Amino acid sequence: AVLELSKTGWLLDITKLTLGENIGEGEFGAVYEGEYMGQRVAVKTIKCDVTAQAFLQETTVMTKLQHKNLVRLLGVILHKGLQIVTELMTKGNLVNFLRTRGRSVVNSAQLLRYALDVCEGMEYLEFKKLIHRDLAARNILVSDDNVAKVSDFGLTKVDAKVSDSAKLPVKWTAPEALKKEKFSTKSDVWSYGILLWEIFSYGRQPYPKMSLKEVKESVEGGYRMDAPDDCPPGVFALMKLCWEHEPRRRPAFHKLREKLEQQMAKHSPD
């Protein structure tokens, strides 16, 4: 993997990188703000060598993906494990973003815009036949010019290998993925429905006050969350479609994108 990355120009020059403030904590190490050849970047550090090896494989996948709604990889640096350099998303992750701003700052037309941004990124992954497996608002980042982008894609296969089913994000994971580890684009669609709920509730924790065990059991028994306060009925209808028990009855991302565009048109008639 190292050889392939160096041949294709994805190995960056550490002397051109300036590290700045710590801006987040990832599962495998800290995330820093920085600058690389005049561009503001984020640097994710992976300290453990074994994990770094696995991540390196997956960044090779990332080098082949380019879309306006996917956080862009600039390259990697091999120093103290692995450092993954991506575009800097100055407004941070979508959960914190929505929680700190709230209804007084972000209106529902803007929420729809974020939902559509994420959907377009996922439509691209669907087209590339890649499964995210950890789609959730905490993995959506917001750029300086207010575009929501999917992050941690291509890295999620690593997580699945490293962690076990005990570490799955239960509240975001489709029933068939929880029970039989059957992950697919349609299990991503389930997670997208939860993400829609997070967006329209301004970053609330899904299934408020329910334990993971309760969520697993009641969702299996057909329970679904209510619409967030003031959620447009058309958007709640989409959540319900994403939460069909049967994976093939859930809409594909390209279908969801069309439906969201219709919602947008209804919202802002011009």
Task: Catalogue the active-site residues.
Answer: 134
157 is in an annotated binding site: no
CA separation for the pair 152, 10 (Å, rounded): 18
Closer of 99 and 245 to ligand ADP (Cβ): 99
H-helix or E-strand spanning residue 265: helix 253-267
CA separation for the pair 192, 213 (Å, rounded): 21
CA separation for the pair 118, 258 (Å, rounded): 13
CA separation for the pair 150, 270 (Å, rounded): 29
Question: For residue 210, which amino acid is it?
Answer: M
The nearest distance, CB 89 to ligand ADP, in angstroms, is 4
The nearest distance, CB 170 to ligand ADP, in angstroms, is 16
The nearest distance, CB 139 to ligand ADP, in angstroms, is 6
CA separation for the pair 138, 199 (Å, rounded): 11
> Rule CB under 6 A: which residues touch ligand ADP?
23-28, 31, 42, 44, 71, 86, 88-89, 92-93, 138-139, 141, 151-152
CA 59 distance to own-chain centroid:
16
Q: Known binding site for ATP: residues?
A: 44
Q: Known binding site: residues?
A: 44
